[in-house]
Structure 1
Amino acid sequence: MGFLDTIISFIERLVRLFIGANEEKLYGLDHAILNVEVPPRNMWMNMGYWKDTKSFPEACEALLELILITAGLLNEDKTVASTPSAIKLVDVGIGCGDQSLYLTRKLPVAGPDEQRRVLVDSYVGVTFARSQADFARDRLLSRSSDSDTAAWTPDVRIFAADAAKPDSWEPGLKTAVSNDHGHDKTQTWLLALDTLYHYKPSRTPLLTLACCNLQASFMAFDLLLDSSASFTSKLLVRLMCLLSGIPYTNILTTTQYEDMLVQAGYDRDTIQIRDISEHVFPGISAYIREKDRALKKFGMGVGKFKVPGWLFGWWGRSGVIRGVVVVARR
């Protein structure tokens, strides 16, 4: 064997060793990646409400619906509640816009003359990542031929900004959220779907803006610390916050959370906190575990979501963290 043949043989062995070009992998299931729909039909990202479903998109949508029901904007049967007021919605933490599509496209309501109108008359969506804002904006601009355009929210604006720091917002966003409605009966709502506990340094600047400047009612899904949590559990929660980048000062008890809302300007008598932990943490934890098992058959996995999946399971078992729907009315 010549020198060149030896080199080629050596390279072939390296390829087999490091790339694993064998028949089993060549004819395995990893080509599933080529069949994945891009972009996906759904891009939801919240913990979900799993009471009546095992589907991630359905659970995410159900959590949004539960918040709207608690706020009185939807009825228990998920029909739109009758309201004489136009509704302006400031929605922070919109991710890739699935909740934006739901709120501005999917919730038409019959008016007094039986003409279809939308639940949300004016919509401002905010997300931290510009890539998500651009993606959400593109999705909202795309119109399918079978859509009922008469039932779309006419005024929809999407911004990339840090919702935790209203002072840093660009002038266009500040103008968009301002309470100069031009309509005496307009009611403003701030929606924060599974996002507020991430806010640095705290939720307070946004909540104060909403209550005092925008005269907005508030609805959200958020995380609370169980008031009976042991010292050890609190230490573990602090470690969790350190590793995940969540400010530990954001993990409040129910009483502390109510005090925060009162400090922001809301009347304590208007605050409603609804614990839904049993239908949140076990469901999302089980879903992530099952998704990881299913993806491994195709040489994939849930990656960075595996640790949060374990964490949600611990929350569900220990009760140290509570998942709650919060509503505070102006």
Structure 2
Amino acid sequence: MNLLVVLALVPLIWRLAVQFLPAQWTEPYAYWDPDALNDGLARWSNMGYWDDASSFSEAGEALARRLLAFADASNERVLDIAHGPGDSLLLHLESNPKHLTAIASLPSDTETAQQRVNQWFLEHAGKTDLTWYTGSATFRPAKDFDHPLYPMRGFLGDSNVVVEEEEEEREQVVFDDEADVVDVEEVVLDKAKSQTGIDLYDLVYVLDALYHFPPSRSAFIASVLPNLRPGGVLAYTDILAPPSLSRLPGRLLANLLSTLLRVPQSNLASGITLNQYKSSLEDMGYKVQLQDWTTHVFPGFAANLKARGAGWWVVGWLAEKAEASGWKYVAVRAERSST
């Protein structure tokens, strides 16, 4: 009986522990090497768009390009969040944006991406200004004044500052599940009504990562709005849980996934339809286009991993079961109104 109690407390203990540990110790992506799945120089880490793709690298690039095309946005000022080893940054640089801001939660991803981008500039005649930021995707009000999504950053001096970790580890970002959600959403929605400035983004691009962002997807999406110029676009992919996760044993599975994959429980909230999801963004003030890409992503991703055998087979099998259970993979284009 005592053993069962200990096992039941493991998720709680882990959630408390991660608040005091650096991201590079607690994020699942810190413990795998993209080289294991990719070919050549590519280091994609997304689930891929598998129509006409014959390899993980091809599918990863296809998903990135399709999302960028779906965004259909100006590229003068671009913010790429959760860029990983930098493949998506190289994709943006192909169109020579005036300014590109890059956010990664892992210092190792920032370092790798910087090396690859520097090499790209040696081989191409690009003129893009870059800003690097290592930390959480979501800013904390009254704390993260240097964050690329801090609504008042344009009034606090030069926004083109390189922010990165060298020797010191950035503290683990901790959100209160209730207070900080309210603070973030109230701050950014108020600012969205009035803020204008030369440092607003034309495109905020998030490839296969938004469901990881604390304290919730809604808080993050709200935080982007005041940072977009009128007509600017937030483009991202998301994974939506099925209604079954609101009932046992699905609720236990949601708790396990939240703990193991560092996905906030609020982002696993179930029972929401695609129309309800779209309406929630429209209520924030976005003009929304939503596409269901499930059949283009899950089957190919699952088949590729299962064919690799061993531990990858298990991950592929889980992806296969997820689709069968009603999980959805969606692409979202959310545009700030021009008025």
Q: In structure 2, what is the Cα distance between the partners aligned to 1:255 and 1:71?
A: 19
Q: CA deviation at 1:97?
A: 0.4
SS at match of 2:315: helix
**Equivalent runs, 1:101-180 vs 2, <5 Å:** 101-104=90-93, 106-107=94-95, 118=96, 120-143=97-120, 147-149=123-125, 152-167=126-141, 168-169=143-144, 171=146, 173=148, 174=153, 175-176=159-160, 180=197
What is the aligned partner in structure 1 of residue 319 from structure 2?
A: 312
Consecutive aligned runs of 4 or more in structure 1 exceeding 6 Å deviation:
none
Q: In structure 1, what is the Cα distance between the partners aligned to 2:267 and 2:292?
A: 17
1:174-198 deviation line (CA, Å, top 9, x unaligned): 524997427xxx8611111011111
- Cα distance change on mapping 1:144 and 1:123 into 2, 3 Å: closer
Q: CA deviation at 1:94?
A: 0.4
What is the aligned partner in structure 1 of residue 281 from structure 2?
A: 261
- Cα distance change on mapping 1:179 and 1:163 into 2, 3 Å: farther
SS at match of 1:191: strand
Structure 1 window deviating more from structure 2 (173-182 vs 201-210): it is 173-182
> Is the CA contact 2:307–2:313 (under 8 Å) kept in the aligned structure 1?
no
Looking at CA atoms only, which structure, 1 or 2, has the larger radius of gyration?
A: 1
Correspondence for 1:188 among 202, 214, 225: 202
Percent sequence identity over aligned pairs: 28
Q: Within the alignment, does 1:220 sit opposite 2:236 as a pair?
A: yes
**Equivalent runs, 1:33-72 vs 2, <5 Å:** 41-72=41-72
- Cα distance change on mapping 1:194 and 1:136 into 2, 3 Å: same
Q: Which residue identity is paired with 2:135?
A: A
What is the aligned partner in structure 2 of residue 271 from structure 1?
A: 288
Please, what TM-score do these two structures have when normalized by structure 2?
0.65
Q: CA deviation at 1:121?
A: 2.3
Q: CA RMSD in A?
A: 3.1
SS at match of 1:59: helix
SS at match of 1:280: helix
Unmatched tracts of structure 1, length 5 or more: 1-35, 74-84, 108-117, 293-300
SS at match of 1:328: strand
What is the aligned partner in structure 2 of residue 207 from structure 1?
A: 221
Q: In structure 2, what is the Cα distance between the partners aligned to 1:123 and 1:141?
A: 14
Q: CA deviation at 1:200?
A: 1.7
Q: In structure 2, what is the Cα distance between the partners aligned to 1:158 and 1:261?
A: 28
Q: CA deviation at 1:219?
A: 0.5
> Is the CA contact 1:212–1:264 (under 8 Å) kept in the aligned structure 2?
no
**Equivalent runs, 1:277-292 vs 2, <5 Å:** 277-292=294-309
SS at match of 2:307: helix
Q: Which residue identity is paired with 1:323?
A: Y
